[in-house]
Amino acid sequence: MQRFDVVIIGSGLAGLTVALNLADHKKIGLITKKALIDGASSWAQGGIAAVLGNDDSIAEHIQDTLVAGAGLCDEAVARYVVEHSRDSVQWLIKQGVRFTRDAESDSGYHLAREGGHSHRRVIHAADATGQEVQTTLEAKIKAHPNISVFEHHIAVDLICGRKIRLSDNRCHGVYVLDSLADKVKTITADHTVLATGGAGKVYLYTTNPDTATGDGIAMGWRAGCRIANMEFIQFHPTCLYHPHAKSFLISEAVRGEGGILCLSDGTRFMPAHDERAELAPRDIVARAIDFEMKKRGLDCVYLDISHKPSDFIVEHFPTIHARCLELGIDMTREPIPVVPAAHYICGGVVADRHGRTDLPGLYAVGETAHTGMHGANRLASNSLLECLVFGLAAASDILEQPSIPHVSLPEWDESRVTDADEVIVISHNWDELRRFMWDYVGIVRTSKRLERAQHRIQVLHEEINEYYANFRVSGDLLELRNLVMTADLIVQSAMLRRESRGLHFSRDYPTLLPEARNTVLQQKTEAASQALQAI
């Protein structure tokens, strides 16, 4: 058993922000499934939305966020995040993050404009912002003596009082599988932070890395936390369409800098779908592309910025330009083939303004959490901002909490399980799940499709639970278990929402209800029951 003041599960921007703001005062254990840098944050191309220009205002950033959120944003939370945007960016700059400079800008930095934004307010590091931020913070993490990093470790489950027959229901730590040693460890902590990111791998096509398997959301649900708004899956409109381009995102900023969406013959189609054309929010653009592809039987559409000067394109999008060239696409001369792909989950573990969940001692930050910031659709580049603001908020709250008496936790028990005999079952179930989620719970939904998905999920649940009960755990099994649980939560939430709002579009319920309400799933008994209620 290993003990820390705080254990953080996940090494994206949210988790690293919490760790660095606690490390001078607390002993930190940081758990990451692969290497420290592997995760969705490092893949972020666009940047961080913040009010930095003199022509911009907090009120306008809030309004843009609320409009994108389609009536479901918590306005107080949106205000809190936006009001702290400048300070959060300054904290990153202080850490050494090198954002793209612009001598002619009143902020001193180049600010991009993305879909749904009324101003240029996205500060970035060329088209590899996440990589710059993560590598900078990674160096700080590795150098700090109070932070112990556990790479190639995957969380199995949270250890909460009711599961180990304690009188309280506090979270006391986590069981973690050391993937290299093939051994489960017991880690105890006064405070546990879920910062595991999203669950894009529940879909066949996604912009997310392989690590995005809904671990924190599934663990939070199993521990008894409320889960909210899981039906709102953001499909990024422009993922590179190429057989060798796995999960490569074409940044929103390409459209922000003048890129147009067109058919193979060059016909532009977005103005027919929305007056904002290519700068409409992501849900509108993704549905428009989906409509055009299905209507015309297309494999993809095209994003064209070749009308801009070559030097401009290479300067602003060096990573995208280089990757496209590797695949034989010269974006300075020809359009880029693109398709929508699962990108971001707006729902998650219900957390308050301090990142606190329903379970004492347990926090959730970043994409894992539902804070009310994004509503029914996340505004572009508000995600990294949320990671920063709530990472700082959670760290501040943890520092204010009193010490917790040490609790002796039971070690992981493998006495009644054996080695798996048919590992291929896991890969088959994984493939089946991702395909039917793409077909039945994608950009456009129907009640019949959701029912079909729910039936298949129930079968997978039974198979996986039996497998989990009888065989030793593995990384693949744990991820599949979490993905199926997350898929179940997505489908439950989608079936409860009988309207079309934001990222959830149903052919059976195409209209908008007069009252915007959150979908909240809550385990009231041993068998999960659901309640649609406002939070």
Residue 409 near residue 185 (C-beta atoms within 8 A): no
Q: How far is CA 353 from CA 74, 143, 381, 399, in A?
A: 11, 30, 19, 15
486 sits in which H/E element: helix 475-496
Whether residue 200 contacts residue 206, with contact meaning beta carbons closer than 8 Å, is answered with yes
Q: Which DSSP string do the residues of 95-163 spell out, in sequence order?
A: HT--PPB-TTSTTSB-EE--TT-SS--EE-STT-HHHHHHHHHHHHHHH-TTEEEETTEEEEEEEEGGG
Phi, psi dihedral angles at 329 (to 5 degrees): -115, 120
Measured distance CA(384)–CA(376) in Å, rounded: 17
Active-site residue flag, 86: no
Please, what is the angle between helix 447-470 and helix 475-496, to 10°? 150
Give the C-alpha separation, 332 to 314, whole Å: 8
Tell me which DSSP letter residue 422 carries.
-
DSSP 222-291: HHT--EE-TT-EEEEEEEE--TT-TT-B--HHHHHTT-EEE-TT--B-GGGT-TTGGGS-HHHHHHHHHH
How far is it, in rounded angstroms, from Cα 227 to Cα 246? 30
| Of 282, 287, 356, 497, catalytic | 282
Q: What is the Cα–Cα distance from 198 to 25, expressed in whole angstroms?
A: 29
CA distance linking residue 479 with residue 473, whole number of Å: 10
CB 389 within 8 A of CB 372: no
**Contact by Cβ (8 Å): 236, 207:** yes
* CB-CB contact of 199 with 217 (8 Å): yes
Residues labelled catalytic: 282
